[in-house]
């Protein structure tokens, strides 16, 4: 069936079963416990363990490697449900998903055999690292390097920033420069599979030179750690160049940008999830709270807010699923992924703020879930390309497609 003819929100029986299962898990295990982990800024280990049991770390990994072998569309539906509960939980899955995508698309057979089965079960989880203290949007401006040693290994040096799952991951897909003189700069960049011990700050032995400083203190998006990474003489074997040395050296930027495209659909789904939750909370509270002798939901000004929120949630969901379905159908979807990420992350921020306003003073109280959502939502405006960068991507792709 042609993608365009398929209603974007239609679910197959399998998709319905899996999203209902995830929704139940979210309602029973994530929403009631998120406040605790958020308040303590504690890694939600029991929830992650249950996610492993549900197979959620292997959703898109092929069955031959022990995963579920599901498509991006189904994954997107799952991420929306998880994010409706708490976006930190979807953050734990997100970088892992990007790592598995990189391996599935660019990895050598040996790399796939070595990593994917353990990643499918969540035994090892992945992080990915482009950003540095002085370069986020401008990826080509990174300074970390890798140089080839006489014995064939690569030595990585440099500092990375804002690595989600930086401490708890067992492998980090890290982008560094292998040719600092390359023009343009992106041609001199390579992605390495930097292995490390999960949960260990100072790696030793064969992994020495890979340090994870204490986690960065954040306004929201708590529970999942964001860290710097310090590489100081860290030795990475040649077989850990993504795609192998011959095919992979100098290809890191292109590989990472490809992965960011699916990453954007994933962030869009997180925007839909948090927006959906804000709408649910607003619908409930507005029918509980009374002012001037009636439910606040009966004031037209509040109904207009609910209407705008519901419209944004719907539009964001449709755009996100369209981008995912196009990617699954093998169609070019870079423009649509950028548009979905921009719209859905802004919709998340909008809906959360409207929900906050509807809660009046109670929205400012930690007694109400909206307070957490209000601190969590802004992350989506930044991660995987800010709204400004998204507009640049959309503008560039538009002009490419409509060149006169
Ligand atoms: C909680 C958290 C988790 C993260 N997780 C990861 C991760 O796992 N891996 C990873 O690699 N990175 C991660 N990041 C980093 C994130 O991708 C970057 O913060 C983001 O890309 C923006 O980069 P920057 O912070 O350096 O801002 P800058 O690039 O310095 O941008 C600052 C401002 O300038 C604007 N701007 C920049 N260039 C332009 C331009 N050309 N035109 C117009 N405006 C412009 C930006 O939109 C922004 O408003 C994470 C960030 C956060 C906050």
Q: Give 276-307 as a 3 state SS string.
A: HHHHHHHHHHHHHCEECCEEHHHCHHHHHHHH
Pairing of strands 210-211, 226-236: antiparallel
Q: How far apart, in Å, are the Cα atoms of 245 and each of 105, 129, 250, 291, 316?
A: 16, 19, 9, 68, 40
Q: Is the CB of 137 under 6 A from ligand 1?
A: yes
Distance between start and end Cα atoms, the chain = 32
Residue-wise pLDDT tens digits, 252-296 = 999 999 999 999 999 999 999 999 999 999 999 999 999 999 999
- Give the pLDDT confidence score for residue 352 in this predicted structure: 98
- Give the pLDDT confidence score for residue 191 in this predicted structure: 98
Q: Is the CB of 95 under 6 A from ligand 1?
A: yes
- Give the pLDDT confidence score for residue 392 in this predicted structure: 96
Residue-wise pLDDT tens digits, 320-369 = 999 999 999 999 899 999 999 999 999 999 999 999 999 999 999 999 99
Best residue among 88, 128, 131 to mutate for probing ligand 1's pocket (most ligand atoms within 8 Å of CB) is 131
Cβ atoms 324, 265 nearer than 8 A = yes
The two counts, helices (H) then strands (E), for the chain are 12, 9
Q: Is the CB of 165 under 6 A from ligand 1?
A: no
- Give the pLDDT confidence score for residue 315 in this predicted structure: 98
Q: Taking phi first (over 0 means left), then psi (-120 to 50 degrees means alpha), and beta for anything else, what does residue 41 get?
A: left
Which one of 80, 132, 228, 384 is the catalytic residue?
384
**C-alpha of residue 384 to centroid of ligand 1, in Å:** 8
- Atom 20 (ligand 1) nearest CA: 136
**For the whole model, what pTM was predicted?**
0.96
Q: Is the CB of 390 under 6 A from ligand 1?
A: no
Active site residue 346: no
- Give the pLDDT confidence score for residue 8 in this predicted structure: 84
* Secondary structure element (H or E) that encloses residue 38, with its range: helix 31-40
| Regions of the chain with pLDDT less than 70 | 1-6
Best residue among 128, 137, 144, 255 to mutate for probing ligand 1's pocket (most ligand atoms within 8 Å of CB) is 137
- Give the pLDDT confidence score for residue 2 in this predicted structure: 46
**C-alpha of residue 141 to centroid of ligand 1, in Å:** 12
- Give the pLDDT confidence score for residue 1 in this predicted structure: 43
Cβ atoms 356, 368 nearer than 8 A = no
Pairing of strands 294-295, 290-291: antiparallel
3-state secondary structure at position 132:
strand
21: phi then psi, degrees, rounded to nearest 5: -65, -45
**C-alpha of residue 84 to centroid of ligand 1, in Å:** 24
- Give the pLDDT confidence score for residue 6 in this predicted structure: 61
């Amino acid at each position: 069936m042609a993608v365009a003819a398929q209603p974007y929100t239609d679910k197959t029986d399998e998709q319905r079963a899996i999203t209902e299962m995830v929704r139940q898990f979210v309602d029973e295990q994530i929403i009631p416990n998120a406040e605790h982990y958020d308040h303590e800024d504690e890694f939600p280990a029991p929830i992650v363990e249950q996610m492993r049991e549900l197979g959620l770390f292997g959703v898109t990994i092929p069955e031959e490697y022990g995963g579920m072998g599901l498509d991006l569309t189904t994954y997107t539906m799952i991420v929306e449900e998880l994010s409706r509960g708490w976006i930190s939980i979807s953050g734990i899955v997100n970088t892992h998903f990007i790592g598995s995508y990189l391996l599935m698309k660019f990895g050598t057979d040996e790399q796939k055999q070595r990593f994917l089965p353990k990643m499918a079960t969540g035994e090892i989880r992945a992080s990915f690292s482009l950003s540095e203290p002085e370069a986020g949007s401008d990826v080509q401006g990174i300074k970390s390097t890798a140089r080839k040693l006489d014995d064939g290994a690569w030595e990585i040096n440099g500092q990375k920033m804002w690595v989600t799952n930086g401490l708890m991951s067992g492998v980090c897909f890290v982008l560094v420069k292998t040719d600092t003189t390359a023009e343009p700069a992106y041609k001199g960049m390579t992605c390495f599979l930097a292995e490390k011990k999960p949960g260990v700050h100072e790696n030793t032995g064969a992994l020495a030179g890979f340090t994870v400083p204490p986690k960065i203190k954040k306004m929201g998006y708590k529970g999942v750690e964001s860290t710097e990474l310090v590489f100081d003489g860290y030795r990475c074997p040649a077989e850990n160049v993504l795609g192998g040395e011959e095919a992979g050296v100098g290809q890191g930027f292109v590989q990472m940008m490809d992965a960011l495209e699916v990453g954007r659909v994933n962030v869009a789904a997180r925007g839909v999830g948090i927006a959906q939750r804000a709408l649910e909370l607003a619908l409930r509270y507005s029918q509980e709270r009374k002012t001037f002798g009636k439910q606040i939901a009966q004031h037209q000004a509040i109904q207009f807010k609910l209407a705008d929120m519901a419209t944004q949630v719907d539009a964001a969901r449709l755009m996100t699923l369209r981008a995912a379905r196009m990617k699954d159908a093998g169609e070019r979807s870079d423009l649509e992924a950028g548009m979905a990420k921009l719209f859905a992350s802004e919709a998340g921020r909008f809906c959360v703020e409207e929900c906050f306003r509807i809660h009046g003073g109670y929205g400012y109280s930690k007694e109400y879930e909206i307070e957490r959502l209000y601190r969590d939502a802004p992350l989506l405006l930044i991660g995987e390309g800010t709204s400004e960068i998204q507009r640049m991507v959309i503008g560039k792709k538009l002009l490419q497609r409509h060149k006169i």
